[in-house]
Amino acid sequence: MALSNVLLLSQIAGHVVVLILSLCIVVPMLCHVSDFNDHCLLFTTGDWNEDTGLFDIQWSSQFYCNFTVITGFFLMFVSSIEIYRMTRLQLKKIDSSFLGLFLDTVLGFLSCLMTFGSAIIISLGFITWCSRMTLRFPSCESAAGLNITKEQDHIHTSGFHFEMGIAQFGAWSSFAASVGLTVFALLKLVSDHQLRNMKASMYLERQRLVNEDSFRDEGISDVPNAQNLPQDSP
């Protein structure tokens, strides 16, 4: 099987994996925002009230959760389009155009940046929250399911540890898969560029040889025939 076909099949498989992993980001993050009454746990801090035993929360910006959700939807959209487009190319046994390969590479780099940013946000943001939970509980997971906030806040903590764990796994795994897909796209782009340069060089060399042959034939035809030369009289 040709190298291009192997890379194309690898890209299709990689985008299927990214599509599944994007669900591991979007679904738990949306569930978390719903459980926390449209608040975001990431980078949220606060202090424990010694009188009530509850956690006085200082909510962080909603941007952190929104960015991770947007990243998940972006990966889902790009992967769906790429799976459809590359499957058609594989069935038709044709190669992608240079513009298509260039766009694949750009989208790959963008996916890497967004997934890396989301993974860092989820990891560091969750560590910030857990550092406050461990001031009262032996582990962050021990706080799950307990009423640690005021009842009127309508905060349901039963699934936050599981949801953040799945989202963190989805973000880092998506980053690793995006790096692999970007490498594949870059390899195909470089290979296509080299092939185009080779074809252009061969065309120019062929034209040069044709021109040399034409000049050589014209030069021979211009030489007068010795039999037709005038003879000197004795």
Q: Which pLDDT tens digit goes with each residue over 162-185?
A: 999 999 999 999 999 999 999 988
What is the structure's pLDDT at 202? 64
Task: Answer with the residue of higher pLDDT: 189 or 162.
Answer: 162
Q: What is the pLDDT confidence band of residue 209, given thresholds at 50, 70 and 90?
A: low
What is the structure's pLDDT at 107? 93
- CA distance to 55, 138, 139, 148, 233, per residue, from 47 (Å): 6, 16, 17, 11, 127
H/E stretch holding 74 reads: helix 63-92
- Whole-prediction pTM value? 0.80
What is the per-residue pLDDT across 121-154, written as a single tens digit (0 to 9) for each?
A: 999 999 999 999 998 889 898 888 888 888 878 8
Q: What is the pLDDT confidence band of residue 63, given thresholds at 50, 70 and 90?
A: very high
pLDDT, mean of residues 217-224: 54
Q: In this structure, are residues 170 and 7 in contact, taking their beta carbons and an 8 Å threshold?
A: no
Q: What is the pLDDT confidence band of residue 233, given thresholds at 50, 70 and 90?
A: very low
- Does position 229 have pLDDT exceeding 80, yes or no? no
Q: What is the pLDDT confidence band of residue 210, given thresholds at 50, 70 and 90?
A: low
- Give the burial class of 114: count Cβ atoms within 10 A of its Cβ; 0-12 exposed, 13-18 middle, 19 or more buried: buried
Instruction: Report the C-alpha gap between 91 and 69 in whole angstroms.
Output: 33
Instruction: Report the C-alpha gap between 25 and 92 in whole angstroms.
Output: 33
Q: What is the pLDDT confidence band of residue 216, given thresholds at 50, 70 and 90?
A: low
pLDDT, mean of residues 33-43: 92
Long-range pairs for 105-109 at CB < 8 Å and ≥24 separation? Answer: 105/182, 105/185, 105/186, 105/189, 107/78, 107/82, 108/178, 108/181, 108/182, 108/185, 108/186, 109/182
What is the structure's pLDDT at 226? 46
Domain boundaries, the chain: 3-213
Which amino acid does the sequence have at 68? T
